[in-house]
Amino acid sequence: MALTNTGPIKRGIVRLLRTSVPITGPLRGGIHERLSSRQVRYPYLIYSQVAAPIITDSGGTNSDGTREIRALFDISVLATNQVDAENIDELIDQLFTDQQDALDGLVDGQTVYYCQRIADMPTGPDRDSEGRFYVQKGGTYEIWTTQPIT
């Protein structure tokens, strides 16, 4: 099996989010990586990779070894209503806490063995380019995967 990087983790995160109707239902603006266009409707979700150190264990004489990725992703909701942002953020936190096994099945070529929200991302209210008030709520998620080196 060829070694993979964080691409499968990112795709697994998006698949997990898109299959959760309680989350996608209220997201009128959809799911975006890093940035969204100005025309996106609130509320919407953005995600971005923060860091992803790769740890390689070459193994011993009886093993080919493993590659471990410890990825950090920021996932947050932008909404014109603070309560909406907080409610959707809470659903995302529950999804990643309760569905670690589901995420494992969505990350191709890697095994997810740790998934946890490790920080909140507190951001104050702001105004977009059209002067509309919005609030951003979210968190940083740490996801550890492993894959065999053959």
DSSP secondary structure, 33-99, as one string: ES---TTPPSSEEEEEEEE--EEEE---TT---EEEEEEEEEEEEEESSHHHHHHHHHHHHHHHHH-
Q: Which strand (E) or helix (H) includes residue 9?
A: helix 7-18
Q: Is the dihedral of CA 121, 97, 11, 149 positive or negative?
A: positive
Say what the pLDDT of residue 133 is: 87
pLDDT at 129: 77
How many Cα neighbours within 13 Å face the side chain of 145? 32
Tens digits of per-residue pLDDT, 76-129?
A: 999 999 999 999 999 999 999 887 788 888 999 999 999 999 999 877 778 877
Parse the chain into domains and list their residue ranges: 7-148
Please give the Cα distance from 86 to 109 (Å, whole number). Answer: 33
> Look-up: residue for tokens 């609030």?
135
Residue 50 has pLDDT above 80, yes or no: yes
What is the pTM (predicted TM-score) of this model?
0.88
> The domain at 7-148 falls in which architecture?
2-Layer Sandwich (3.30)
